[in-house]
Structure formats: structure tokens, C-alpha cells
Amino acid sequence: MMSYEMARKLVIGECNVALSKINEYKVEEFINMLFQADKIFLIGVGRVKLELEAFAKRLFHLGFRTYMVGDITEPAITDRDILIVGSGSGESIVPVAIAKKAKKFGGKIIHIGSNSQSSLAPVTNLMLRIPVQTKLYREDEIASKQPMSSLFEQSLLLLCDSIAVMIVDKKHIELKKLWNYHANLE
């Protein structure tokens, strides 16, 4: 039976390997696109959606206008905006359809996923690849001993938190002042 310490080391070790394989120049390009955007929309399904909701909230704290696709307060997308699509396989039906529609309105599409050959590829302006195991089990994916796409979801959250740290540095934000943007009706 696997102990907690063994499981912890497995999870952290896999995340470390996955994050070390992400192209640093693509991360910089991603951040530049965030700074150039008027509005940032995000879409994902399942656990990926949860990770993107956390990222949307953090970007909001950092001064960006962020919206989850489908939320009641979502405005129209324009050619000055970006859509961040989280999908390991790049084949999830709803995110792919939304990305294609956003592209018709001139939105720039960023795909954070593992499959660079996906149905999203033709509409993607930037692919930020986390090369981990997906439901496709492609040969160029990093294998995982965790259930299903856990490694992708964990890596997505940690990648987004790493990007937030980079944005804080780039904007010279005093961390203590960020609490002014935190919800206060709790």
C-alpha cells in the first residue's frame, strides 16, 4: 500500500518534471499577450475549468479584465481580446467550438494543453504545451501514475500560479496591496 509520503513524492515529482518541460519563451509570449489584451476570456471543462477559474480570479487581482465563458456577466469578445482554452487533449467539444466562434469575432486564441496536433491547432495563435499524458496516450506525452488527467490539471494550476508570480514581478506589485482586490463580502 502506498503511504502518504510516497504519494506526495510521486505527485510533486511528476509536477516538477512536467513544469520543467514547458517552453519558457512561450510563457513569455503568453504573458505579453495578456498585457496586450483588452479582455481575457477563459474556457475549460471539468477539473480544468476549476483551475482556469482560479487563474481568472488571480488575473483579476492583478488588474486584468477576466471572464469565464458562460458566466452571466460575460461581455462580447472582440479582436482586442484573447480566449484561453484549457484542454489537455485539445479535443473537448465545447472548448473547441467556443474557440472557433471566438476566432470568427477576431479573438486571439491561446491553447494550454498537451496535444499540439489537436482540433484547436488551426485556430490557435499560441500553444502553451504541458506535454503530459492525456486520454489520447500519445507517445510524446510524459506518463503519469496518477488517475486520468490529474497531472495535467495540477500542472495547469502550478503553471498559472508561476505566471502570476512573473506578472507581479513585471508590474512591480507590492504583494500586501493585492488584498485590496480580494473579496470582502465573505
What tens digit of pLDDT does each residue of 24-80 get?
999 999 999 999 999 999 999 999 999 999 999 999 999 999 999 999 999 999 999
Q: Is it the case that residue 183 has pLDDT exceeding 90?
A: no
Task: DSSP letter for 149, please.
Answer: T
Map residue 103 onto helix, strand or coil. helix
In a domain, 148, yes or no: yes
Give strand pairing partners of 127: 111
Report pLDDT for 177. 86
- pLDDT band of 121, cuts 50, 70, 90: very high
Amino acid occupying residue 162: S
What tens digit of pLDDT does each residue of 141-178 get?
889 999 999 999 999 999 999 999 999 999 998 888 88
Q: Is it the case that residue 138 has pLDDT exceeding 90?
A: no
Catalytic (active site) residue 153:
yes
Residue ranges making up the domain that contains 28: 4-181
- Domain total for the chain? 1
Tell me which of 14, 51, 141, 153 is the catalytic residue.
Answer: 153
- pLDDT over 90, % of the chain: 87
d(CA 55, CA 70): 16
d(CA 38, CA 49): 22
Report pLDDT for 123. 97
In a domain, 77, yes or no: yes
Q: Is it the case that residue 86 has pLDDT exceeding 90?
A: yes
- pLDDT band of 179, cuts 50, 70, 90: confident
Q: Is it the case that residue 140 has pLDDT exceeding 90?
A: no
Residue 110 is part of a domain; what is its CATH number?
Answer: 3.40.50.10490
Map residue 20 onto helix, strand or coil. helix
In a domain, 186, yes or no: no
In a domain, 55, yes or no: yes
Grid cell, residue 11, equals: 505527485
pTM reported for the whole predicted model = 0.94
Place of cell 507517445: 139
